[in-house]
Amino acid sequence: QVQLVESGGGLVHPGGSLTLSCAASRNIFSIVAMAWYRQAPGKQRELVAIANERGTTNYADSVKGRFTISRDNTKNTVYLQMSSLKPEATAVYYCYVKGIECYSGSYNPDDYWGQGTQVTVSS
């Protein structure tokens, strides 16, 4: 099955930095987009950053200038570099991949989600 393996979450003080990574299993190809979402307690899941197949990136206004999303297409991996972290960044961060599973017979990309990794920004 398709797997998205996330890592890099943890506890960090305000102003600190973390880098999240998400490695998609090799049975996913024709990846249209890779992204990071987050969901804070009591809030809806929101898009943090996304990188599409053209290399174009987009960010939530709240993280522009502080977060950077990047892709390594040879490794089916997406990263999220986070700096100047604020307490409001505390959330479960979810990796998202839109792509096609090998041997599925599908001609259209599907949505895949990681398990989520906790990021806590606290003094």
In order along its 123 residues, the chain shows pLDDT tens digits of 899 999 999 999 999 999 999 999 999 988 999 999 999 999 999 999 999 988 899 999 999 999 999 999 889 999 999 999 999 999 999 999 999 999 888 889 999 999 999 999 999
Whole-number pLDDT of residue 4: 96
Q: Where are the beta strands (DSSP E) in 1-123?
A: 4-7, 10-12, 18-24, 28-39, 46-52, 57-59, 67-72, 77-82, 91-101, 110-113, 117-121
Q: What one-character DSSP code corresponds to residue 46?
A: E
Whole-number pLDDT of residue 36: 98
